[in-house]
Amino acid sequence: MRSFKLHHVLCGVCLNFSNNSRLYWIQNQEILSNTGKATIQLQDEWWGPGEQTPVDTSIRPFKIEIEQKVLDDLQQRLINARPFTPPLENIQQQYGMNTKLLSEIVEFWKTKYDWRQRETFLNQFPQYKTNIQGLDIHFVHVKPTKADGLKVIPLLLLHGWPGSVREFYEMIPLLTEPQPDRDFVFEVVAPSLPGFGFSSAACKPGLNPVKIGLVLKNLMHRIGFEKFYVQGGDWGGIITSNMATLFPEEILGVHMNFCLFRDQPVAKIILALQHLLPSLFASAEDRRKMAQSMIYPTREDGYFRIQSTKPDTVGVGLNDSPVGLAAYIIEKFTTWTNPNWVNRADGGLLEKFDYAKLLDNVMIYWVSNSITTSCRIYYETSCRIYYEQNTEETRKYRIDKIPVSVPTGVTNFESELFLLPEKVIRCKFHNLLHYNDVLNGGHFAAFEVPDALAKELWITFDKFLNYSKQHG
């Protein structure tokens, strides 16, 4: 009886693969050329208010300078916060942010966190703004300290949610300082994603990660890079994947420490077989990754459901209460850094971060009034596709199915939310030159373990450059 059921399950999987393959061919005739390269033609849509108008397209220096009245208001809100509901007995982070831990963080915020000092820290790197398609895009731009005789690698670094450019501050010097055994060095451009931090938000619906990729490509062109490399995690990893798919002639290579795609037929087959017959189709490490990835949909995706359907509603509360905002954001830095920290009263936070670093990130959302607009990326990606799946636009942008030939590197950190096996990643990224599993890191790798991620980038790009020398 068991073998009969298994036979039917496998037949169903194969039928699903067959149907997906036919659907893939039908839906993607207009977006794939005969060579298999993406030919999606994206338009430079206007995301600013009203009708398109002439804008200042210069690159303008920018510094973070928050008015004192904003800081005074914040202090009053912290002082006047209502008493916290105490956690249940013998509960750490299982119900969400432990309010004893939150009390400690808020007390630090009120009495020890000095925004003016942190503002100086955040302004240590050159920052700029420029208008792309009606959006004022903020970015950090750091050139190498010394580049004599070295090849300079233009690298676009992309963050995700609930992160910010703050995640990269410890890693940037590790990339822009020449290494004694390397003949190249990085020039880093780290933008705030549209609607995040100091980048303005779209005034019109529809700015999804595909179209954000176009905005960021145009940003790099504005800066002067016609061809460049991209690295990202979280939403930054998804946007990186999209850019490699959409712009293979302009993206020289990509690296992701969060590689996720869900609409690739062969990958679905492999994952299905690994789940059905793990002893035959999955290594011990693959089985560990599958088990860990199941934690997210069972315990961690509540925020995703809310932000994918009602981002503006949750944004009202988060935008009005700094304590609520801190709880909502910092909670992710516990269990997303290490799922086992759900059982720690201190959330494990001080093992990888300190309260000042975590509050820097929260403050970027608070002083820029951007939490609501940052949450909308979930709606644009999930809810619009779900409810409007028969529209021409959503059919056109199912780009997970399009193979990528751009040189690719993927680093899986041990405690990442989703961990795809190498054979699955190769279903989409056909030129995977570097794949590595790294211990002692989680979802916010650049922020948690900047040394480890920087090391991965140096190794990956060494392979990229050697590949380029061999293949022209």
pLDDT of residue 471: 86
Total domains in the chain come to: 3
One domain for residues 165 and 246: yes
Q: What was the pLDDT predicted at 285?
A: 77
Give the per-residue pLDDT at 421.
Answer: 86
Query: Residue 353 is encoded by which pair of tokens?
Result: 């971060």
109 found inside a domain: yes
Q: Position of tokens 């996720």? A: 260
Task: Examine the fold and report which residue of 346, 364, 397 is the final residue of a domain before the chain moves on.
Answer: 397
Residues of the chain with pLDDT under 50: 1-36, 385-392, 394
C-alpha torsion sign, points 238, 343, 331, 441 = negative
- Listed residues 350, 381, 397: the one ending a domain: 397
DSSP for 329-365, please give it: HHTHHHHTT-GGGGG-TTTTHHHH--HHHHHHHHHHH
Tell me which of 136, 234, 286, 400 is the catalytic residue: 234
- CATH of residue 233: 3.40.50.1820
> Is 132 a member of any domain?
yes
Whole-angstrom distance, CA of residue 176 vs CA of residue 328:
33
Is 362 part of any domain?
yes
Q: 385 and 314 in one domain?
A: yes
129 and 239 in a single domain? The answer is yes
183/254 same-domain check: yes
Look at residue 291 and tell me if it is in a domain.
Answer: no
Provide the strand spans (E) within 14-169.
60-62, 127-132, 135-142, 151-158
101: containing domain: 65-113+302-397
Residues 205 and 102 occupy one common structural domain: no
Residue 296 placed within a domain: no
State the pLDDT at residue 394. Answer: 46
Q: Is 378 marked active-site?
A: yes
The answer to whether residues 358 and 418 belong to one domain is no
**Known catalytic membership, residue 234:** yes
Per-residue pLDDT, 232: 98
| Cα–Cα distance measured from residue 239 to residue 210, given in angstroms and rounded to the nearest whole number | 7
Q: Which of 113, 169, 328, 378 is catalytic?
A: 378
